């Protein structure tokens, strides 16, 4: 099954963002990367990704309401470009591509925007390839692009991610709920945030959690998800940016059943049982209403 809308050599895919309902940073591998235990949940907020297959040439155009004024840097460094290049390298097709992305997902905010675009490009190409690679090969390719890409390249609504995020265990999708994203006026560098976790651990300020194993069958319910909701990045980022604590408090005060930071931040999200009320927050925070 594919969510791609294809017409000849062109295909359009929704690149949905994710939130992490749980993000435990575990052992540091000898190479410096950390093992993770994550719960990913796809949300309605999405970029729109169009991929055109060409006889030659490569291009990437990004526009849309979430484009940062400073742009997105060199196209060759963009994860969506790298996904298409990796696909072409792995399968010998296509020779050329033109990618157009309409950005709606805030950039650099822990919502997996760049990874979602990369995952969408992989799905798009495989939907129109003369010899599709298939889901397994696509997942392996996704893992070479980053920890969030295997989940976002999949069609899962929710999953536990282990290893560096590539070992996915599907979860039953919880019922759709209103979600409010609070985006503080700063971004967090992911590599730096891992360094803060490691430093806090070394100083004995952040325990290495030894929680009971997650029971996937129970995690299709919001009350069960709320009990395991935790993010190891949240305390170390909040120490440096008190705005995180303010955003979590505002969401809780407004009745959110879960209020926490996503990924390495800086986005904080709240899950609501009904229509969310207005939030009491300074105007420098951007508020985006969406749903799971």
Name the residues annotated as catalytic: 18, 148
Q: Distance between CA atoms of 168 and 285, rounded to whole angstroms?
A: 33
* Residues in the chain, total: 292
Q: How far is the CB of 78 from ligand C5P (least distance, A)?
A: 13
SS3 content of the chain, % helix, strand, coil (to 5): 30, 30, 40
Cβ atoms of residues 273 and 267 within 8 Å: no
Task: Pick the binder of ligand C5P from 40, 97, 194, 233 (CB under 6 A).
Answer: 194
Q: Is 164 in the site for ligand C5P (CB under 6 A)?
A: yes
Minimal distance, residue 260 CB to ligand C5P, in Å? 19
Member of 112, 146, 184, 276 binding ligand C5P (CB under 6 A): 146
38 binds ligand C5P (CB under 6 A): no
Q: Kindly tell me which of 33 and 221 has the beta carbon lying closer to ligand C5P.
A: 33
**Is the Cβ of residue 20 or residue 147 nearer to ligand C5P in the bound state?**
147
β-strand partners of 42: 18
By CB under 6 A, tell whether 34 contacts ligand C5P: yes
Least CB distance to ligand C5P at residue 221 (A): 28
Q: Can you tell me whether residue 273 is helix, strand or coil? A: coil
CA separation for the pair 187, 265 (Å, rounded): 7
* CA–CA gap between residue 77 and residue 72 (Å, rounded): 9
Q: What's the min distance (Å) between Cβ of 247 and ligand C5P? A: 22
- Dihedral sign for Cα 73, 123, 50, 171, please: negative
The verdict on 277 binding ligand C5P (CB under 6 A) reads no
Binding region for ligand C5P (CB under 6 A) = 32-34, 36, 146-147, 164, 190-191, 194
């Amino acid at each position: 099954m594919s969510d791609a809308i294809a017409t000849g050599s062109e295909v359009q895919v929704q690149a949905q963002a994710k939130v992490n309902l749980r993000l435990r940073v575990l052992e540091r591998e000898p190479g410096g990367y950390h093992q993770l235990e994550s719960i990913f949940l796809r949300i309605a907020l999405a970029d729109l990704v169009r991929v055109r297959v060409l006889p030659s040439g490569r291009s990437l155009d990004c526009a849309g309401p979430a484009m940062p004024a400073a742009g997105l840097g060199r196209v060759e460094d963009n994860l969506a470009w790298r996904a298409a290049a990796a696909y072409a390298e792995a399968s010998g097709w296509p020779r050329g591509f033109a990618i157009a992305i309409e950005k709606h997902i805030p950039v650099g905010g822990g919502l997996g925007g760049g990874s979602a675009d990369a995952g969408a490009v992989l799905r798009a190409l495989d939907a129109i390839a003369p010899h599709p690679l298939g889901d397994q090969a696509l997942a392996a390719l996704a893992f070479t692009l980053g920890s969030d890409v295997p989940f976002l390249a999949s069609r899962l609504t929710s999953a536990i991610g282990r290893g560096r995020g590539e070992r996915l265990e599907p979860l039953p999708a919880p019922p759709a709920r209103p979600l409010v994203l609070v985006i503080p006026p700063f971004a967090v560098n992911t590599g730096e945030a891992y360094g803060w976790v490691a430093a806090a651990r070394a100083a004995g300020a952040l325990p290495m959690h030894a929680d009971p194993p997650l029971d996937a069958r129970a995690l299709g319910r919001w009350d069960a998800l709320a009990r395991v909701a935790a993010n190891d990045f949240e305390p170390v980022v909040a120490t440096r940016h008190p705005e995180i604590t303010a955003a979590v408090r505002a969401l809780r005060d407004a009745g959110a059943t879960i209020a926490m930071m996503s990924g390495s931040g800086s986005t904080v999200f709240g899950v609501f049982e009904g229509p969310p009320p207005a939030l009491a927050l300074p105007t420098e925070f951007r508020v985006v209403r969406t749903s799971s």
